[in-house]
Amino acid sequence: MTKVIFFSDFSAFPKALTFFPFEKFTGKKVPVKLHMGEKNNPYFIKPETVRDVVTELLKIHSHPFLHDTTVAYHGSRYTPTEYQMLAKEHGFTKKNIGCDVIIDDTGVPTTIEGRTYDVATHLSNASHIFTITHVKGHIQTGMGGAIKNYGMGGVTKETKIRIHDSSYPVYHKDACTYCGVCAEVCPFDALKVTDDLWVYDEKKCFGCGACVDACSFQALSFDADLQYLLACSAKACLQGKTVLYLNELKRIAKGCDCDPNAGPIICPDIGYLLSDDPVAIDKASLDLVNKVKKNIFLKVNKINPMKQITYAEQIGLGSSKYELVKID
């Protein structure tokens, strides 16, 4: 059973590290994969927390650098230069953190379960990676944790677009009974159904797949479920590497760190988790959130976040079974 270490106060982080063979990172170039925040979204992981992680990595003589990728939409993180400027605004500088910040815009094709994902060059080249993930809700996947940090955040903008495009619904008119169930479950009001019309607004659709899951008449299909593609993409980033995962369960908002309008905080602060398994740490994070606010991600985003964890386990990314070890 995979160990997941829980600590409510970050001061216990150095002690938590002693549960893992951390010395394996000695002498290695170590990307510290994280999201450094979107403009006008205050919930991202704080530079002070990241600095403490980097300090521990420097103590064991590894060579850390902060790492993330450019995004597929125009804004403040579309190019490496734009993202570097925003990272600086948010306090992620060499002076403040103690290491360089590298933003990738290129990738290395990696095939998982028959599909190719372009893994960010510096992740692809790394043998050892440290992950810092701010756990929060997500409008398309219910929740964003370690799996999503890689599944979407670890790949190039071209792969991000491909993943989204593959998860849009395809309509099969002959099978449709115009029951209207798909329109009822769509969280984004992208569907309208009348007695003899099915109308789809592609501009409003986020490719979440809720309508495909809800249709009992096989009138809707897609190439693949977004949460399945996320799990596969994360595996492309992580397979064959030595990786540690730190999940922060604080400032847990309705929406993602990418969203300038991430909405309200939906769950009280819980603490931190550390693990060497991305599936176990996301499952433990979800369980802890559910303990405090039952099914809150499902309630506010209308998407079941458990799917990404189940898919990830099915394709061999990790195990959802864990033992929670509490330390103070």
CB neighbour list of residue 187: distance below 8 Å, 6 or more residues apart? 139, 206, 208, 210, 301, 302, 303
Give the shortest CB-18-to-ligand SF4 separation in angstroms: 44
Q: How far is CA 296 from the centre of its chain?
A: 17
Cβ distance to ligand SF4 smaller for residue 48 or 165 = 165
Give the shortest CB-251-to-ligand SF4 separation in angstroms: 26
Give the shortest CB-16-to-ligand SF4 separation in angstroms: 38
Give the shortest CB-297-to-ligand SF4 separation in angstroms: 16
Give the shortest CB-164-to-ligand SF4 separation in angstroms: 10
Locate 288 and state its tokens.
Answer: 């802890």
Cβ distance to ligand SF4 smaller for residue 60 or 214 = 214
Strand ranges inside the chain, DSSP E = 2-7, 29-33, 63-69, 101-104, 107-112, 115-120, 128-134, 136-138, 142-144, 170-171, 191-193, 198-200, 220-221, 242-249, 252-253, 265-267, 271-275, 322-326
Cβ distance to ligand SF4 smaller for residue 184 or 287 = 184
Give the shortest CB-172-to-ligand SF4 separation in angstroms: 8
Locate 141 and state its tokens.
Answer: 């996947």
Cβ distance to ligand SF4 smaller for residue 179 or 324 = 179
Distance separating alpha carbons of residues 101 and 95, to the nearest angstrom: 11
Cβ distance to ligand SF4 smaller for residue 147 or 220 = 220
DSSP for 27-73, please give it.
Answer: T-EEEEE-----TT-TTSPPHHHHHHHHHHHHHTT-EEEEEEE--SS
Cβ distance to ligand SF4 smaller for residue 20 or 198 = 198
In the complex, the residues that contact ligand SF4 under the rule CB under 6 A are: 169, 176-182, 186, 188, 190-191, 193, 198, 205-211, 214-215, 217, 219-220
**Residue whose entry in the numeric block shows the structure tokens 């899951």:** 213
Asked if residues 110 and 63 have their Cβ atoms less than 8 Å apart, the reply is no
Cβ distance to ligand SF4 smaller for residue 192 or 321 = 192
Give the shortest CB-222-to-ligand SF4 separation in angstroms: 8
List 143's β-bridge partners, or say none: 137
